[in-house]
Amino acid sequence: LRSAEALTVAERDALYAKALAEEATSVDATKLPDDRATKLFKEAQRAQQGGDIAKSLNITNTIIKDYPGFAYGWSNRGNLYVAMQQYDEAIADYAKAIALAPSGPETWVIFLNRGTTLALLGRDLEGIKDLTSGLTLNPINNDRGAAAQEQILKVNRGLIQMKVKDWAAASKDFGDGLRLTPDQPDRWWVPYALCLYEVGKADEARGLLEKFDKKMRNPPSSDAKAALAALASARGDREAAETYFSDVQRTKSYSSRKFLEQELHWPPKIIAAIATFRR
């Protein structure tokens, strides 16, 4: 047998996760165990909401030390680590929370947070897997809540699928999200429209962008305006293209292929269309 010092980080994490899971079988890991824990948890939340991340972290460390079987202590510290851009530490804490409450009522949120954090580190396929896991968990016990749960998971999965250039899968996830709230424009409508354009649905893409543009004019979205300009140019309407593009901020950014590919994760067809327009 090897000593504890000889174990790899992965092996240590696996052993710890197993211990947490065993502890979770004897108590409800999603419930605060006593009044003191409840008071500390509320204090940590107030500090976080007030922007005092350091104070919230200090209190949350106490919660984890004194109540290591409370899953949301770990997940909340993960959220704090994300706010501090300490992503590896956040992912480790999310893993411990999931081990404690693998099917808790809020575990889908932990999968969501870990999945999006993994994507920040470029671990996109792992992120997609986490968001898919969140979709398999028990939905919120009312239609509106279940719909919101499905939408936020699918929209975020769609955004990560754009990073791995799976335009069809991203389009499907965004489409599912749109069907849940067809009259509530959101920023993700723009990447959805660009995926539609990439998979050959130019008219749908244009319609969605125009609907978004009409309802989200204060302030206008530069991404939407640039995309509308590119689509207008592609169909030969130079005047409309110039009008749309006149509302774009940071116009030079939209002439940068690197910016469009690596920052916005735009698909090839719209990048080609805007490049042709800008020439």
Identify the CA nearest to 71 among candidates 51, 96, 45. Answer: 96
How many C-beta atoms surround the C-beta of residue 189 within 10 A?
23
* Cα 185 from Cα 178, distance rounded (Å): 9
Residue 236 backbone zone (phi > 0: left; psi -120 to 50: alpha; other: beta):
left
Amino acid 216: pLDDT: 87
Average pLDDT of the residues in 32-38: 91
Amino acid 5: pLDDT: 36
Average pLDDT of the residues in 122-146: 87
Quote the pTM value. 0.86
**pLDDT above 60: residue 101:** yes
Residue 27 confidence class, pLDDT cut points 50, 70, 90: low
Are 79 and 115 within 8 A, CB to CB?
A: no
Name every residue whose Cβ is closer than 8 Å to that of residue 41 and which is 6 or more positions away in sequence. 32, 63, 72, 73, 76
Average pLDDT of the residues in 103-112: 93
**Tokens 């649905």 sit on residue:** 201
**pLDDT above 70: residue 3:** no
Q: 23-57 in b/e burial notation, b at 16+ Cβ within 10 A?
A: ebeeeebbebeeeebeebbebbeebbeeeeeeebb
Are 77 and 45 within 8 A, CB to CB?
A: no
Amino acid 141: pLDDT: 63
Amino acid 279: pLDDT: 85
Task: Name the residue with higher pLDDT: 7 or 211.
Answer: 211
**pLDDT above 50: residue 16:** no
Q: Cis bond leading into 219, ω under 30°?
A: yes
* Cα 212 from Cα 190, distance rounded (Å): 8
**pLDDT above 50: residue 1:** no
Output the CA–CA distances (angstroms, integers) from residue 57 to 34, 63, 74, 81, 190, in the order listed: 20, 10, 11, 8, 36
**pLDDT above 80: residue 6:** no
| pLDDT, tens digit (0-9, with 9 covering 90-100), for 174-229 | 999 999 999 999 999 999 999 999 999 999 999 999 999 999 877 889 999 999 99
Identify the CA nearest to 188 among candidates 166, 222, 218, 156. Answer: 156
